[in-house]
Structure 1
Amino acid sequence: MERRKRIYLIMMGTCLTLYVLSWTVVRFWSSTAAIVMAIVASIIPPVAVILANRPD
């Protein structure tokens, strides 16, 4: 159970970091890259929930 929590928190931290970086830093250089980062960040939460709730 502890491993699942750690994986979930790492994935959600990555998601949050991607969102923040995409719209505060990356958008000044490439709006396309910022949009791709945001799309990838929006895919991470459902995957994190699926991995955290999978049966043993």
Structure 2
Amino acid sequence: MPDSDPRSEPLGEPPPGRKRAYFWLMGTCVALIVLAWNVVRFWSMPAAVAMSVVAAVIPPVAVIIANWGRGG
């Protein structure tokens, strides 16, 4: 019977669900930056800056989610 302790999980690769969440978040980050500075800035510079601020917060959150519950 496998041990259900999350710390027994190998540290090399995150589980598929967390990996999928990481890639969705990072894809959203890239999309926000591209849209902000290639589309939105022509109509509203403050909105483009706000989108960039949100995009800047996403990568650390994505890393935390990808590594949540890992032993170290």
TM-score w.r.t. length of structure 2: 0.76
Query: How far apart, CA to CA, are the structure 1 residues paired with 2:65 and 2:24?
Result: 12
Which runs of no fewer than 5 residues in structure 2 stay unpaired? 1-14
How far apart are 1:33 and its partner, in Å? 0.1
Aligned length, in residue pairs: 56
**Greater helix percent: which structure?**
1
Please point out which of 24, 48, 61 is paired with 1:34. 48
Larger radius of gyration: 2
Letter matched to residue 28 of structure 2: T
Residue of structure 1 aligned with 2:57, choices 38, 43, 47? 43
Counting aligned pairs with the same residue, the percent is 57
Q: 1:20: Cα distance to partner?
A: 0.3
Structure 1 stretches of at least 4 aligned residues deviating more than 4 Å after TM superposition = none
Distance in 1 (CA, whole Å) between partners of 2:29 and 2:56 is: 7
Aligned to 2:19: 5
Q: Pairwise CA RMSD of aligned residues?
A: 0.8
